[in-house]
Chain A
Amino acid sequence: MLLSHGGEPLRTAAPVVRWTVEQVLVLAPDESSRKAGGRLGSAGPWTGAGCDGSGAVWGLCKGSGSKPYQTVVDTTGPAYKCSCPSRKFPCKHALGLLLLWASDEAVLGPAEVPDWAGEWLDGRRRRAAQKAEPAGGDAVGAGAGPSDPAAARRRAERRAERITGGAQELEQRLTDLLRGGLAAADQSGYGLWEETAARMVDAQAPGLAGRVKELGAIPASGPGWPVRLLEECALLHLLDTAWLGIDRLPEPLAATVRTRVGLTGSVDGPPVRDHWLVLAQYDTPDGKIVTRRIWLSGKGSGRTALLLSFGAAGRSPGQALPVGVTIDAELTPYRGAGQLRAELGAQFGAPVPTGAPPPGSTATAAVAAYGQALRDDPWLESWPVTLRGVIPVPSGDGWQLVDAAGDAALPVTPSALSRPGLWKLVAISGGAPVTVFGECGHRGFDPLAAWADSSDDGAAETVPLI
Chain B
Amino acid sequence: MPGTEPMPSTTTPWEELLTSALLGTDRRPLAAGAGPGPIALLDAAALHTVRRRAGLRPAAAAARPGTAPADPRPPLPPAARRRLAQLLADRSASSGAGGRRGAEPDLTELIPQWLAAANLRGFRAPAALLPPLLDAARARTDLRPQALAFAGPRGLWLAGLNPEWKFALRGSSGSSLLPEVTDADAVHRLWEEGLFAERVALLGAVRAHDPGGALALLTSTWATERAEDRLMFLDSLRAGLSAADEPFLEQALSDRSRNVRATAAELLSALPESALAGRMAARASSCVNLDLTAGDATVAVEAPHECDAALQRDGVVAVPPSGRGERSWWLGQLVEATPLSVWPGRFGGRTAQEIVALPVADGWGEELHAAWCRAAVRQRDPQWARALLGPPSLPPSNGPGTASLAERSKLLATLPGAERAAWVAGFVAAHGLSEAFQLLGVCPVPWAEPLGRSVVDALDIARDAGSYPWSFSGVMGLAERCLNPAEADRLEVLTTTPDEPEGASPGAAGYWSEAFRRLVSTLRLRAAMDAELGAETA
Taking the complex as formed, is B144 at the interface, i.e. its CB lies under 8 A from any CB of chain A? no
**A233 engages B45 (CB within 8 Å):** yes
Contacts of A176 in B (CB 8 A): 38
Q: Of B46, B61, B94, B107, which one neighbours A407 at CB under 8 angstroms?
A: B61
The stretch among B84-92, B215-223, B451-459 that forms the contact with chain A is B84-92
Taking the complex as formed, is B127 at the interface, i.e. its CB lies under 8 A from any CB of chain A? yes
**A371 engages B64 (CB within 8 Å):** no
Whether A411 touches B22, Cβ cut-off 8 Å, given contacts A42-B525, A45-B103, A424-B128, is no
**B61 engages A402 (CB within 8 Å):** yes
Contacts of B244 in A (CB 8 A): none
Q: Which residue of B lies closest to A445 (CB)?
A: B1
Taking the complex as formed, is B538 at the interface, i.e. its CB lies under 8 A from any CB of chain A? no
Taking the complex as formed, is B4 at the interface, i.e. its CB lies under 8 A from any CB of chain A? yes
**A224-243 Cβ-contact flags toward B at 8 Å (1 or 0):** 00110011011101100000
**B22 engages A179 (CB within 8 Å):** no
**B131 engages A423 (CB within 8 Å):** yes
Write the nearest CB–CB distance from A25 to chain B, whole angstroms.
6
Contacts of B49 in A (CB 8 A): 231, 234-235
**B82 engages A234 (CB within 8 Å):** no
Taking the complex as formed, is B139 at the interface, i.e. its CB lies under 8 A from any CB of chain A? no
Contacts of B90 in A (CB 8 A): 35, 38-39
A175-B45 Cα distance, complex, nearest whole Å: 13
**A178 engages B38 (CB within 8 Å):** yes
**A35 engages B97 (CB within 8 Å):** yes
Write the nearest CB–CB distance from B525 to chain A, whole angstroms.
5
A241-B473 Cα distance, complex, nearest whole Å: 71
The stretch among A136-144, A297-305, A388-396 that forms the contact with chain B is A388-396
Q: Which residue of A lies closest to B26 (CB)?
A: A179
**B26 engages A234 (CB within 8 Å):** no
A34-B92 Cα distance, complex, nearest whole Å: 10
**A39 engages B21 (CB within 8 Å):** no
Contacts of B23 in A (CB 8 A): 181, 183
A226-B14 Cα distance, complex, nearest whole Å: 12
**B79 engages A103 (CB within 8 Å):** yes
Contacts of A217 in B (CB 8 A): none
Taking the complex as formed, is A220 at the interface, i.e. its CB lies under 8 A from any CB of chain B? no
Taking the complex as formed, is B521 at the interface, i.e. its CB lies under 8 A from any CB of chain A? yes
Taking the complex as formed, is B120 at the interface, i.e. its CB lies under 8 A from any CB of chain A? no
Contacts of A20 in B (CB 8 A): 82, 85
Q: Of A106, A233, A430, which one neighbours B67 at CB under 8 angstroms?
A: A430
Q: Of A21, A238, A423, which one neighbours B162 at CB under 8 angstroms?
A: A423
A sample of 16 inter-chain contacts (CB < 8 A) reads: A31-B93, A39-B104, A42-B525, A45-B103, A105-B79, A181-B28, A226-B18, A226-B21, A237-B45, A400-B59, A409-B62, A411-B59, A430-B158, A431-B157, A442-B56, A455-B127
Taking the complex as formed, is B55 at the interface, i.e. its CB lies under 8 A from any CB of chain A? yes
Taking the complex as formed, is A345 at the interface, i.e. its CB lies under 8 A from any CB of chain B? no
**A430 engages B157 (CB within 8 Å):** yes
Taking the complex as formed, is B209 at the interface, i.e. its CB lies under 8 A from any CB of chain A? no
Interface residues of B in 291-336 (CB under 8 A from A): none
Can you add 18 more A-B contacts, CB < 8 Å, to A395-B3, A420-B132, A457-B75? A21-B82, A38-B107, A177-B38, A181-B26, A231-B49, A234-B42, A237-B39, A364-B57, A371-B56, A374-B50, A378-B46, A393-B62, A403-B58, A403-B61, A410-B58, A423-B162, A424-B131, A442-B1
**B86 engages A99 (CB within 8 Å):** yes
Write the nearest CB–CB distance from A292 to chain B, whole angstroms.
20
**B58 engages A364 (CB within 8 Å):** yes
Write the nearest CB–CB distance from B234 to chain A, whole angstroms.
40
Contacts of A178 in B (CB 8 A): 21, 24-25, 38, 41-42
Contacts of A184 in B (CB 8 A): 24
Contacts of B127 in A (CB 8 A): 427-428, 430, 452, 455, 457
A31-B96 Cα distance, complex, nearest whole Å: 11
Q: Of A181, A378, A398, A441, which one neighbours B50 at CB under 8 angstroms?
A: A378
Q: Of B89, B104, B517, which one neighbours A21 at CB under 8 angstroms?
A: B89
A103-B161 Cα distance, complex, nearest whole Å: 32
Taking the complex as formed, is B283 at the interface, i.e. its CB lies under 8 A from any CB of chain A? no
Write the nearest CB–CB distance from B12 to chain A, whole angstroms.
13
**B57-76 Cβ-contact flags toward A at 8 Å (1 or 0):** 11111111111100000011
A35-B81 Cα distance, complex, nearest whole Å: 19
Contacts of B239 in A (CB 8 A): none
A281-B126 Cα distance, complex, nearest whole Å: 22
Q: Of B4, B25, B68, which one neighbours A367 at CB under 8 angstroms?
A: B4
Contacts of B431 in A (CB 8 A): none
**A431 engages B67 (CB within 8 Å):** yes
Q: Residues of B at under 8 Å CB distance from A?
A: 1-4, 17-18, 21-28, 37-39, 41-43, 45-46, 48-50, 52-68, 75-76, 78-79, 81-83, 85-86, 89-90, 93-94, 97, 102-105, 107, 126-128, 130-132, 154, 157-158, 161-162, 517-518, 520-521, 524-525, 528, 531
Contacts of A155 in B (CB 8 A): none
**B18 engages A21 (CB within 8 Å):** no
Contacts of B59 in A (CB 8 A): 400, 408-411
- How many chain A residues sit at the interface, stated as a range, is 35 or more
**A103 engages B24 (CB within 8 Å):** no
**A408 engages B521 (CB within 8 Å):** no
Contacts of B525 in A (CB 8 A): 42-43
Contacts of B48 in A (CB 8 A): 234
Write the nearest CB–CB distance from B54 to chain A, whole angstroms.
4
**A428 engages B128 (CB within 8 Å):** yes
Write the nearest CB–CB distance from B92 to chain A, whole angstroms.
9
A452-B67 Cα distance, complex, nearest whole Å: 14
Whether A180 touches B24, Cβ cut-off 8 Å, given contacts A44-B517, A175-B37, A410-B58, is yes
**B89 engages A25 (CB within 8 Å):** yes
**A393 engages B82 (CB within 8 Å):** no
Whether A407 touches B60, Cβ cut-off 8 Å, given contacts A43-B524, A104-B528, A427-B127, is yes
Contacts of B158 in A (CB 8 A): 423, 426-427, 430
**B53 engages A44 (CB within 8 Å):** no
Contacts of B85 in A (CB 8 A): 20-22
Taking the complex as formed, is A146 at the interface, i.e. its CB lies under 8 A from any CB of chain B? no
**A38 engages B93 (CB within 8 Å):** yes
Taking the complex as formed, is A182 at the interface, i.e. its CB lies under 8 A from any CB of chain B? yes
A180-B158 Cα distance, complex, nearest whole Å: 51
Q: Of A180, A394, A411, A444, which one neighbours B161 at CB under 8 angstroms?
A: A394
Write the nearest CB–CB distance from A192 to chain B, whole angstroms.
16
**B58 engages A363 (CB within 8 Å):** yes
Contacts of B107 in A (CB 8 A): 38
Q: Of B43, B68, B93, B131, which one neighbours A430 at CB under 8 angstroms?
A: B68
Write the nearest CB–CB distance from B496 to chain A, whole angstroms.
13
8 closest A-B pairs by beta carbon, nearest first, are A181-B24, A44-B521, A431-B67, A234-B45, A408-B58, A430-B68, A178-B38, A395-B62
A428-B78 Cα distance, complex, nearest whole Å: 17
**B43 engages A237 (CB within 8 Å):** yes
**B27 engages A430 (CB within 8 Å):** no
Taking the complex as formed, is A16 at the interface, i.e. its CB lies under 8 A from any CB of chain B? no
Write the nearest CB–CB distance from B98 to chain A, whole angstroms.
12
**B60 engages A409 (CB within 8 Å):** yes
**B61 engages A408 (CB within 8 Å):** yes
Contacts of A267 in B (CB 8 A): none
Contacts of B94 in A (CB 8 A): 35, 38
Q: Which residue of A lies closest to B56 (CB)?
A: A367
A450-B28 Cα distance, complex, nearest whole Å: 49
Write the nearest CB–CB distance from A310 to chain B, whole angstroms.
26
Whether A426 touches B161, Cβ cut-off 8 Å, given contacts A226-B22, A364-B58, A411-B59, is yes
A374-B131 Cα distance, complex, nearest whole Å: 36
**B21 engages A182 (CB within 8 Å):** yes
Contacts of A39 in B (CB 8 A): 90, 102, 104
A106-B485 Cα distance, complex, nearest whole Å: 15
Interface residues of A in 29-53 (CB under 8 A from B): 31, 34-35, 38-45
Taking the complex as formed, is A463 at the interface, i.e. its CB lies under 8 A from any CB of chain B? yes
Write the nearest CB–CB distance from A117 to chain B, whole angstroms.
23
Contacts of B531 in A (CB 8 A): 106
A466-B228 Cα distance, complex, nearest whole Å: 49
Write the nearest CB–CB distance from A395 to chain B, whole angstroms.
4
